[in-house]
Amino acid sequence: MSVVLKFGGSSVADATCVRRVAEIVRGAAPRSPVVALSAMGKTTDALFAAAQVAERGETEAALKALREIVLKHKKTCAELWEGEPPVDLQQFIDALSTQIDMLLRGVALLRELSPRSRDAIVSFGELLSSQIVAAYLHSRGVSTAWLDVRRVMRTDARFGGAEPQTKDIASLARTELVPLMGAGRVVVTQGYIGSTNEGLTTTLGRGGSDYSASLLGAAILAAEVQIWTDVEGILTADPRMVPEATPIIELSFREAAELAAFGAKVLHPATIQPAVDANIPVTVRHTMRPEGRFSTITAKGGTGSPRPATAIASRSPIQVITIESTRMLAQSGFLGRIFDVFGRLGVSVDVVATAEVSVSLTVEENAPIEAIRKELGAFAHVSVAADRALVALVGERLKHTPGLAARVFGAMATINVEMISMGSNEINLSLVVERKDEAAAVRLLHQALFGNGEAK
Ligand code: ADP
Ligand code: ASP
Ligand code: MG
């Protein structure tokens, strides 16, 4: 049975990292690995920035930014090979940079950056990193095949956040990917990027390489999808907010999906679904500590654990919309009318709390507030609070833990909680606080629920 290994941007950031990745991949070689790579370090950000500069018509500045990106990759190559990298790798890098150079010039000339051109430009990052890693593995004597994932990762044409076509991906994987695989042989390919039926380059949205990995895993029915990153798995909270957060050894698909959706950046929110559908375990591991702890996500993972909660995630900025109507009491279709408005405007709602005469719900920062106000204002009073944060406590056992709400409220004694909601699947308890209180709320909750180690 095969395995998919995905390495994130920080895992391939420089020559030292790439060497580490090569060792991990070499170790996995007997398991017919498919390696999906992100762009190196901040390359994708830099490509987005170059495209934006080009859009302003600043050709020279955009091309300079591109030269810097190319130079960084060439420096990494020089370090990896301690001198001249293989000629075909150099040729690949040069040919690709000429293409991106032309694209940037085109954008600058027209001063127009379509999502379609942007995807073509940013795909450069993954194409480069995967070529470098494949060439390096090959020179270390590992039998390696490089695959342009656009031959397999079929998507629709929603550039910038394309929808994968799983049936097509499964059949293309059979013809394009599986024949390259074998025990002792490594297939190296890209995360994040895909292609439409017409051969146009697309991307799956920022952070989408995790999603690519699980889509590939599902397509080849891999035994495991490994997400290699810069932390020892999914932690009980974002380590940048809670430095004492610890890895969760086992968690369920539902918990991981919920954490990702509520802001835990460690996994792209869509990652889990293909793995759930194919019942493939996903592990999250630390590239610099391959022998260390890691998280395993499975259908039933952690459900037998007595921990009252599994982890805390948070997301900001969000906005809270409160809709009030004294007529609501008597109207059975009131909620229907409200959601009809959100549905028609294509606005996704994350958390809802209802009271007798009012409904509060949370939407993204960029939701079309004026349009929402106008439509809802026709039959109710609408108020909007911006700069809010959503803090979510996630765990399969939340609903089975008596006194949990008291502990949560106790922890929030000094914080003004504006809204509270227990998800309908009952594995998440969400709070809305002012954005300035987000970090404190997460820390206090973590202290109250995980401080003594019982929930690990
Ligand atoms: P990669 O480049 O490997 O895809 P990301 O930066 O996308 O890595 O995700 C890893 C980062 O996610 C960690 O460095 C950490 O700062 C952040 N993170 C946020 N919440 C969590 C969490 N609950 N557990 C682990 N990491 C988290
Ligand atoms: N390189 C892409 C990004 O930075 C995809 C990824 O890393 O997952 O968003
Ligand atoms: Mg990521």
Which residues, in sequence order, are bridge partners of residue 311? 394
pLDDT in the model for residue 329: 57
What span, in angstroms and rounded, lies between the C-alpha atoms of 402 and 422? 14
Q: Which residues have a beta carbon within 5 Å of ligand 3, which is an ion?
A: 8, 207
Q: Is the CB–ligand 1 distance for residue 229 below 6 Å?
A: yes
Q: Is the CB–ligand 1 distance for residue 8 below 6 Å?
A: yes
Instruction: Find the angle CA(186)-CA(188)-CA(192) to the nearest 5 degrees.
Output: 145
pLDDT in the model for residue 304: 83
Question: Which pTM value belongs to this model?
Answer: 0.93
Structure tokens at 208: 């989408």
pLDDT in the model for residue 1: 86
Residue type, 76: T
Contact 392, 421 (CB under 8 A): no
Cis peptide before 179 (omega within 30 of 0): no
pLDDT in the model for residue 456: 43
Q: Is the CB–ligand 1 distance for residue 243 below 6 Å?
A: no
pLDDT in the model for residue 424: 66
Counting ligands in written order, the one closest to the CA of 241 is 1
What span, in angstroms and rounded, lies between the C-alpha atoms of 160 and 114? 10
CA-nearest of 308, 286, 214, 287 to 253 is 214
Alpha helices by DSSP H, 166-293: 166-172, 209-219, 253-261, 272-278
pLDDT in the model for residue 455: 43
Contact 336, 380 (CB under 8 A): no
Residue 53 Cα, ligand 2 centroid: separation in angstroms?
Answer: 20
For 190-199, b/e burial (b = at least 16 CB within 10 A) is bbbbbbbeee
Structure tokens at 353: 């709390």
**pLDDT tens for each residue of the chain, 456 residues long:** 899 999 999 999 999 999 999 999 999 999 999 999 999 999 999 999 999 999 999 999 999 999 999 999 999 999 999 989 999 999 999 999 999 999 999 999 999 999 999 999 999 999 999 999 999 999 999 999 999 999 999 999 999 999 999 999 999 999 999 999 999 999 999 999 999 999 999 999 999 999 999 999 999 999 999 999 999 999 999 999 999 999 999 999 999 999 999 989 999 989 999 999 999 999 999 999 999 999 999 998 988 888 889 999 999 999 999 999 876 655 678 888 899 999 999 998 988 888 778 899 999 999 999 999 999 998 889 999 999 999 999 999 888 888 888 899 999 999 999 999 886 678 999 999 999 999 999 999 999 999 854 444
Q: Is the CB–ligand 1 distance for residue 207 below 6 Å?
A: yes
Tell me the CA distances in angstroms from 240 to 235, 363, 445, one per residue in order.
Answer: 11, 24, 15
Contacts of 184 (CB under 8 A, 6+ apart): 29, 30, 143
Contact 6, 212 (CB under 8 A): yes
Residues with CB under 6 A from ligand 2: 8-9, 38-39, 44, 125, 191-192, 206-209
| Closest atom, ligand 2, to C-alpha of 204 | 5
